[in-house]
Each structure stands twice: as structure tokens, then as C-alpha cells.
């Protein structure tokens, strides 16, 4: 499909020059925030943005929970940032690379360094767990203080506050990112082998989701938890998770283009998906009728970050080559 054939929202996008690889996009309350790989955090929109230096090194990973942004760098530090730009050091691993971070309820934070995963509760108490291999994916359960951590040949579920043995979800291969369904019934990991693997809890029933031409590194649940959107193909691949999950069911493909998807982000309230591509394009696709709206016509590097605000009225995006923008949907 040609660019001219899309309806467009490009006139409602304000440029937010980032100047470097955008590692993460988020809204802290109503405030748009961009984390750049060079250690800077850009806070605010085009009318009054400011910057703070969170790391004197590269930001490797980041996560947010709408009130705070947490970053991990190759300086070994885990830093929390709020909407005012205030910084707090949560951990200092003395120069060891931070491989993954995650945020949970009541101020919980987790980060991984090599084979060790650390969980910090809202009162600052830290517990650690050693895994079979390094972990590049962490995710807290939607309720309670429980953490999922990927590693070689599976994913571990861990209650940091209790002495019970961690629960292993096994599947041969190298597991990367991990996500927990909003209802807590499914855990899904992306894999080095260009596929996803899932487990239905508590039975640990296996679900294999394959056929991707590239690795899936972006995962996003619909607001009702019925769909899981994924990157890694020349469309957003969207798996059905209502009922018993995707086993025996075909996924939907939305936003088909001759370029691979790199980022996906579901609207928080509607069945609308934001999709970023390897050529810098950004589209919105409505699942109910597959209608498409162009947000950005690609002009450079891959889209590396997408985020909706809590009201679903604004979409923030950033790219590998330092471009960024803020879409405000018309009509309120």
C-alpha cells in the first residue's frame, strides 16, 4: 500500500527532537518522557521540555508504571525518575551491566545482573535469586509481589517475600522478554528461536506460537486482556487469549507492510493498536474493522519506543536515529 492511500494523522504530531537513540517512551501521569541511550531523560512536550542526566553511560533497559521511570545502564546503576525530574539511585552494581528491569505494585522494582535477579519492595528491602543463566526478561504479576524471570530453557516464577522454592516453567531454548497477562492466567516469553512460548497457569499447559521471520522483542496486551500483540513480522501478529488461550487458534495480522514491525502498543481503552516499523513508519490500526491511520511516514531508522497516555488521547514515539514525536488525537 502506498503512503498516499492512507488516511493520515500526521498534522496532529508535534516533533520532539531527541538527538539520540530513543530507548524508552512513557507518560508519567500526563507528562511525556523519553529515555535516550546516551543517558539523558527528556521530560515534557515541545512547549516546555527539560532534560536530566540519569546515567553517565548508556541506558540499556527501562520500564515505567505511569508514576515513575526506572532505567538500568552499563554503569551498573538502577535509577528512578519522576515527572519533576527528581532522580533516586535504587541500586549500584559497580559497573556490571543491568540486563533487565521491571516495576510492580506498591513501589516494587526488579533488576537482573548476570545470573542474579534482585527484587526491591516498596520499603526498600532487597531479596536476590540466582538463576540457571542470565535473565533478559523480567515482569511482575498483575497482582501480588511475584516476579517472572526468563533464562535458558524456561522462565522462573518467584515470590521474593516468602521462602518457598521458585516455580520453574520449562521449555528448551533461550528465552528473552516475558509478559504476564492482565488476568494473571498466562505467562508468555519471546525466544531467540523466533517464536513465543506460553504457559497457562496454574496447570503449566504449554502454548507454542511460531512462524516469525525475526525475533519478537515488543509485546503488548489489549486493555481487556483478550489479545496479545507482537512485533517481528511484516505485520503486527495478534494472538487471541480469551478462554483457553491461543492453542489451536490462528492469530490476526494487522498493519501489513513490506517492512517488519519493531514496536507495538495497544490503546489502553479501545481495540486500537499503534505499530512502529523498521523504516520509521507509525500506524494506528483498529481491530474491529482493520481501518488504518498513518501517524508518521518513515524517513529513517526503526521505531524503538511507543507509549500511550492513560487516557488514550496521546501517543509518544521515538526512533533509533534520534527522532521522536507526540500525537494528540483530534476531537478529545
Q: What is the pLDDT of residues 151-200, one digit of tens each?
A: 999 999 999 999 889 999 999 999 999 999 999 999 999 999 999 999 99
Question: 3-state class of 58 per DSSP?
Answer: coil
Specify the DSSP class assigned to residue 254.
E
| Residues 188, 228: Cα–Cα separation, whole Å | 10
Q: Rounded mean pLDDT of the chain?
A: 95
Max CA separation in the chain (angstroms) = 60
Query: In this prediction, what percent of the chain has a pLDDT beyond 70?
Result: 98
- CA 41 to centroid of chain Cα atoms: 17
Q: What is the DSSP letter of 115?
A: T
Tens digit of pLDDT for each residue in 267-307? 999 999 999 999 999 999 999 999 999 999 988 899 999 99
pLDDT in tens, 121-144: 999 999 999 999 999 999 999 999
For 254, residues 6+ apart whose C-beta sits below 8 A from its C-beta are 235, 236, 238, 273, 275, 285, 287, 290
Q: Which residues contact 192 (CB under 8 A, 6 or more apart)?
A: 173, 174, 175, 176, 215
Distance CA 257, CA 218 (A): 17
**Residues in the chain, how many?**
332
Q: Is the peptide bond before 329 cis (omega within 30 degrees of 0)?
A: no
- List, in order, residues 6 or more apart from 260 with CB less than 8 Å away: 213, 214, 231, 232, 233, 234, 277, 278
Contact 23, 54 (CB under 8 A): no
Entry pTM:
0.95
Amino acid at each position: 500500500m502506498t503512503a498516499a492511500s492512507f488516511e493520515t494523522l500526521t498534522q496532529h504530531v508535534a516533533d520532539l527532537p531527541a538527538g539520540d537513540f530513543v530507548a524508552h517512551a512513557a507518560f508519567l501521569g500526563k507528562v511525556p518522557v523519553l529515555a535516550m541511550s546516551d543517558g539523558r531523560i527528556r521530560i515534557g512536550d515541545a512547549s516546555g521540555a527539560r532534560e536530566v542526566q540519569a546515567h553517565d553511560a548508556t541506558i540499556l533497559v527501562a520500564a515505567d508504571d505511569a508514576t515513575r521511570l526506572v532505567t538500568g545502564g552499563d554503569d551498573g546503576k538502577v535509577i528512578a525518575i519522576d515527572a519533576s525530574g527528581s532522580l533516586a539511585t535504587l541500586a549500584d552494581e559497580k559497573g556490571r551491566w543491568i540486563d533487565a528491569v521491571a516495576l510492580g505494585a506498591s513501589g516494587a522494582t526488579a533488576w537482573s545482573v548476570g545470573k542474579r535477579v534482585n527484587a526491591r519492595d516498596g520499603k526498600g528491602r532487597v531479596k536476590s535469586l540466582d538463576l540457571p543463566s542470565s535473565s533478559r526478561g523480567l515482569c511482575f504479576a498483575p497482582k501480588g509481589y511475584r516476579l517472572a524471570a526468563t533464562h535458558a530453557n524456561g522462565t522462573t516464577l518467584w515470590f521474593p517475600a516468602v521462602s518457598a522454592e521458585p516455580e520453574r516453567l520449562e521449555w528448551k531454548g533461550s528465552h528473552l522478554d516475558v509478559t504476564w497477562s492482565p488476568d494473571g492466567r498466562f505467562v508468555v516469553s519471546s525466544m531467540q528461536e523466533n517464536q513465543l512460548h506460553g504457559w497457562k497457569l496454574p496447570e503449566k499447559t504449554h502454548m507454542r506460537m511460531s512462524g516469525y521471520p525475526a525475533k519478537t522483542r515488543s509485546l503488548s496486551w489489549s486493555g481487556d486482556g483478550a489479545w496479545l500483540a507482537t512485533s517481528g513480522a511484516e505485520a503486527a501478529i495478534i494472538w487471541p487469549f480469551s478462554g483457553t488461550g491461543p492453542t489451536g487458534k490462528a492469530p490476526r495480522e494487522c498493519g501489513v507492510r513490506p517492512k517488519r514491525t519493531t514496536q507495538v502498543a495497544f490503546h489502553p481503552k479501545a481495540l486500537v493498536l499503534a505499530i512502529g516499523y523498521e523504516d520509521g513508519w507509525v500506524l494506528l490500526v483498529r481491530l474491529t474493522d482493520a481501518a488504518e491511520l498513518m501517524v508518521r511516514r518513515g524517513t529513517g531508522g526503526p521505531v524503538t519506543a511507543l507509549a500511550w497516555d492513560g487516557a488514550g488521547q496521546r501517543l509518544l514515539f521515538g526512533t533509533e536515529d534520534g527522532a521522536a514525536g507526540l500525537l494528540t488525537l483530534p476531537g478529545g
